[in-house]
Structure 1
Amino acid sequence: MPRREIISGNWAFAEAMRQINPDVVAAYPITPSTDIPMKFAEFVANGKVDTNFVTVESEHSAITACVTAAAAGARVMTASSANGVALMHEIFPIAAFFRNPIVFGLVNRSLGAPINIHCDHSDSMGARDSGWIQMYSENAQEAYDNLLMAHRIAEHPDVNLPVMVCQDGFITSHAVENVVLEDDAFVKEFIGEYKPEKYLLNKDESLSVGAYGVAAYYIEVKKAQFEAMKAAKKVINEVSADFAAKTGRKYGLIEEYRMEDAEYAVLLMSSSAGTGKDAVDALRAKGKKVGLIKIRSFRPFPAEEIAQAVKNLKGLAIMD
C-alpha cells in the first residue's frame, strides 16, 4: 500500500532511487543535491539496495562512470547541481549519442560566479540541446513521480535517451512536505526489468562504441537522435497515462490550470508554478479570467501543446 511521509524533495529522489534499485550509481556531492547521494549511500551501507555505488573524485568522473556502465548494459542513475552539472557538459552529448538511458536527478542551482547556492535553471539549460530529455518538477511529489516514470521513458525502445529530472534547489529540494510514496512492489512492477537490446557485455553481438564518424554517419546519428526525441513526446504521454491510471496522479507534457475560459495566462515551470496557481486563484476570486500553463517536459519541447493552450488568449506572460 502507498504510504504518506513528510520528506524533502531530495529525500523523495533518494527514496525513489532506493525503490528503483539501479545497477550502478556514480555521484559526487554538491549543494543542494548532496542529500541524494548521502541518503542513497545509507541505503547501500544498510543493505537496502544491491547497487554498485561508485564514489568518484569529480562530477566529470561521475557522468563518465555512468556512461560506461550504461554502455555495458546497466541501469544507471546519478545526481548533481550547478557547477557540478557544468563539469559534466563534455560528456552529456556522448551519453545521448551512445543512447544511454541514464536517469539524472538534477537539483537546479545557479552557476557561479559569484557563488550562489540558490536556484535558477542555468545548469540544466546549458544542457538543453545536448540530446537529453528534460522534465521539470513543481514539488517533491512530482519530483518523486517523475523519477519513477523517467526509467520507463528513457528505456523505451523508441527512445533510448538519457533523462534529466529537475527540481528547484532549496525551494523543492530542502522544503519538507507531504509525499505519497508508492509500495516497493508497485515500483518494481511499474518500471519493469531493464533488458537492453545492445550493450558491450553481450557476448553474442560484438559492438564498436564511440568510433570515429565521418560527416555522413554523423548526420545519420543525429537524425536518429532527433527522431527518438520526437518519439519521446508520445512515450511520455503513454507512460504518464499508465501512471495516472495506477496512482491517480495525472501528468502530461504541460499542465493547464484554470484555462477553460482564461483571457490572460502565465507560462512557467518548476516550483514557481505552485506560487502561480495561488496567484491565479486570488485573481479568479476577484473575477479575473486568468489561468496558468506549466511546462513539465522542456525536452522534447511541447510547442504544439502550448500553441493549442494559448490560442484563445488575449495576453500571455512568459516567466523565463
Structure 2
Amino acid sequence: MIHQQKPQGGNLTYLKEFVLLGFSDVPHLQWFLFGLLVVIYCFILLGNGTIVIITRVDSALQTPMYFFLGNFSFLEICYVSVTLPRMVFNLATQRRTISFTACATQMCCTLILGATECFLLAVMAYDRYVAICNPLHYPLVMNQRVCSQLVIGSWISGIPVQIGQTSQIFSLPFCHSNQINHFFCDIPPVLHLACGDIIVNEMMVFLGAVIFVLVPFLLIVFSYSKIISTVLKLPSVTSQAKAFSTCSSHLAVVMLFFGSAMITYFRSNISHSGQTDKVLSLFYTVVTPMFNPMVYSLRNKDVTIALRKFLCKQFTKT
C-alpha cells in the first residue's frame, strides 16, 4: 500500500492520456523483450487453451476438479490478454501512450479477473478438501449444479466492487505527471499520480485486498491444513503420495499468485518501489498463467493421458 498526500491545486491537469513507461529503462533489450513476450503469450494461449479443450471433450475428465481446472485455464487466457498484448504493442511501436478511458478499462478488467482468480483458486481448494476429507459425500456435495454456481459466483462476485473502485480512483485529480512507471494500469502506480488526500482511496484499496485476496487465501490455508491432517492419517504411503501429488500442483499456483499479489497490495509506503511493483506484477499477470499448463499437465497423469489421446485423434484425422 502507498500512502501520500499531495497539495490540492497548483500543477493539476485534466489528463486525456497516460504514458506507460514499462521497459523504457532498458532500451537495448526492447526487441529481445518483444520476442520473449510474444513467445510467452503464444505459449499461454496454447497451453491453457489445450487444457480448456481436453477438459471439455475427454470423458475421463468430466469431474468437478477438471471442470474447475478448465474454467481456471480459460480465466488465465482472459487475464493475460488484458495486459500482455498491450505490452507487446508498446514494445513494437514504442508508442507508450494509453488513453484515460483505456487505462481505466484495463485496470477494471484486471481487478475483476484478479478477484475471480482468487475466488476460483479458493473454490478449487474447497473441492480438494471435500474430495479428500469427505470422500463419501463428495458426489452429493460437489454436484453439477453446485459446481456451476461456485464458478459463476467466482466470475461475477467482484464486478460491482471493482467497477466502483476503478471509478473512484479515476475520479481523482492528477498531478502534472502522466507517466505511469509500470507495464499496465495497476492501482499502486496510478494512485501514485493522484493529487490531494487519497487516504480514503488507500483504505478502500486495502479493504478490497483483504476481501478479494486475503480472505480467499486464508480459506485455502484452512482447507489445506485439513487436507494435510487427513492425508497424514492415511495408512497407505501410496495413498498419501497420490493425495499430495494431486494437491501440490494447485498449491504451487496458489503460492505464486497470492504471494506476489499480497506483497504488492499490502506493502507499506516505506517499502514502496516502482521497480519492485513491476517485477511483482509480472508474477501474477504473466508467470502464473505461463506455469499453469505446465504444473497441471506435467504433474497430472490424467491430463497427460487425455492430452495424448486428444493429439492422437488429431493426427489420425489428418
TM-score, length basis structure 1 = 0.28
State the structure with more CA Rg.
2
TM-score, length basis structure 2 = 0.28
| Larger fraction in strand | 1
Higher relative contact order (CA 8 A, sep 6+): 2
